[in-house]
Every structure is written in C-alpha cells, then in structure tokens.
Amino acid sequence: MYSLSSGHVVYRDEPNTVFWSRRLTRPIYLNDGRTVATLAHARDLMLEIPSARRGAVHWRMAADLLLAAARFGGQEPIRLAGAQMSSALRADDLA
C-alpha cells in the first residue's frame, strides 16, 4: 500500500523515505501560467485534480512513476515521471 500525499511510501509495513524535492528533467508549463519544476509540484498538482479524473490510466501511470522517481531518484525515473506527468496534463488540456 502506498500514499501519494505522505512523505513516505509504505510497502508491507516497511517505510521508505522519499525525496519529493527532486527537480524534473524539464519544467512543465501549465496553461494557467504555473510551472511544475519538482516532483513535489507534480504531486501537489495531481492532488488538485478531482479524484474521479485521477482514476484515468494516464494519471495512475503518472502517480506510479512519480512515486518511483521520489523513492529511487535517478535521471531516467525522473525523466519518465516528468514525461508522463506532461502527457497526463496535456490529455486533460491543462498544459
């Protein structure tokens, strides 16, 4: 079980520290003028999306990739998380 809004990801009752402050490879510019530059910005923005919309496949994939990037770091996981977040935002006409 994991929680997107917490500072920890929990698998089988084992806490693992995650680092939401990691920067995305490329910032994402939203239609409303905001910029998503870190995993924390992406997470917070995702939590603003109505839960019914967050259930869509593109948002579930974004959540999984954001959690992996926050937990493990590394250039490729962060790049993939940013790319999926950008794709999900475009799919909902937010970027």
Half-sphere exposure of 16 (CA within 13 A, CB side): 17
* pTM (global) more than 0.75: yes
Name the pLDDT band for 95 (thresholds 50, 70, 90).
confident
Name the pLDDT band for 23 (thresholds 50, 70, 90).
very high
Q: What is the mean pLDDT of residues 21-50?
A: 93
Of 1-5, 41-45, 50-54, the least confident: 1-5
SS3 90: helix
